[in-house]
Amino acid sequence: MADKREIIDRLINKDIKIHEIEKCVDSIDEAVEIRRKFVEEISGTELKEISNYSIDMEPASKKNIENPIGTVQIPLGITGPLKVNGDHAKGDFYVPLATTEGALVASVNRGCSVISESGGVTTRILDDKMTRAPVLKAKSVIGALEIKAWINEHFKDLKKAAEVTTRHGKLIKIDPILVVGKYIYPRFVFTTGDSMGMNMVTIATDSALNLLTHKTGVHVVALSGNVCVDKKPASLNLIEGRGKSITAEIVIPKNIVKNKLKSTPEAIVEVNTAKNLIGSAISGSIGFNAQYANMIGAMFLATGQDEAHIVEGSMGITTAMEEENGDLYFAVTLPDVPLATFGGGTSIETARESLEIMDCYGNGKVHKFAEIVAGTVLAGELSLMGALAAGHLARAHKDLGRA
């Protein structure tokens, strides 16, 4: 095997590529060190902190990262207790949040306090599915309609072809099947167990397409035609849902609104109407909420979720109304939150530990995790709406370092 200096010189001279270092050394740790030192030399930067990590790069380099040079670190805070009254999550939970935004953890923590004093947040899972939608091409509009009819008539055959690739994935429907000129966009909809399932449904859909092309001769333009809709905000996902569709609600007595949030139910309702509903409508937003992305992002980074799905999880609608007796009804609905408690980034050691804090790591835990996510989003959303109604937002950020 070549020594480290020789490999770095070959990289500088472009005799080898950075992804080929593993072929020249005995271990992944050596490859990581050489690649990092190469970057230090060409950039003139000492990567002291990037080199300081505890995760095992051997499995990570096989499943989670290519060309590794180290890790980045994000501060991890804890919030709670969050009292959840769910079908799958029951009791008090402490929730890890990874963020660099001062005031976020404190704000969510205030929401948790309001929730606990009000008897807990009710959470439910509305739906659970993952999608992949290829784009196909026929010879004409008539041909496209014939392909659409064939798919509808042979769903059982396509289901069998898809499910042969997976033990956990189940094809539950192909809908909608959109036709645009010669192009056909069938949306394959699966359940995926405790995995987020994106890779699973991609492989399964590819297998079903092999049968479809063999039987019909249709041309597959691309395995993904953007009707999935994956890692992008879309009205289709807001309406149809994707990943875990979840909701959380609570009734907060008016005296708790006054004492804890320093506001009134009437003021919070008006802020929600003017900001989240009307403000979002006139700006053309896809989703009507104040800050779902904050809590979704912090939980995703803490627990090893696919961070690109934060854009989907940030969609949703906040509902606030004053009850007849003057109490505050408050709810969040998130139709598109892809989650996993097994596989993918959840296997990274820090992500696993974060999930274990909530007893949400491993098989059979994803619905519990989804309900905790819903409750956490409500806690943060409620706290921010209270701060806005009371005029405290700027002061909180100034006090906590985010002026």
- Kindly report whether the peptide bond that precedes residue 68 is cis, defined as omega within 30 degrees of 0: no
Angstrom distance (rounded) from CA 115 to CA 97: 18
- H/E element, 174: strand 170-180
Can 168 be counted among the known catalytic residues? no
Known catalytic membership, residue 40: no
Residue among 22, 30, 33, 101 flagged as catalytic: 101
Mention every residue, 6+ apart, whose C-beta is less than 8 A from residue 166.
200, 203, 204
14: left (phi over 0), alpha (psi -120 to 50) or beta: left
**Among 128, 194, 306, 312, the one annotated catalytic:** 306
Helix (H, G, I), strand (E, B) or coil at 323: coil
Antiparallel, parallel or unpaired: β 135-137 and 183-191:
antiparallel
Structure tokens at 226: 């953007």
Instruction: Name the one residue in this structure whose structure tokens are 């005029």.
Output: 391
CA nearest 382: which of 123, 112, 124, 116?
A: 112
Q: What are the residues facing 131 on neighbouring strands?
A: 189
Whether residue 22 lies in the annotated active site: no
Query: What contacts 168, CB < 8 A, 6 or more positions away?
Result: 192, 193, 194, 195, 197, 200
So which residues are the catalytic ones?
101, 306, 397
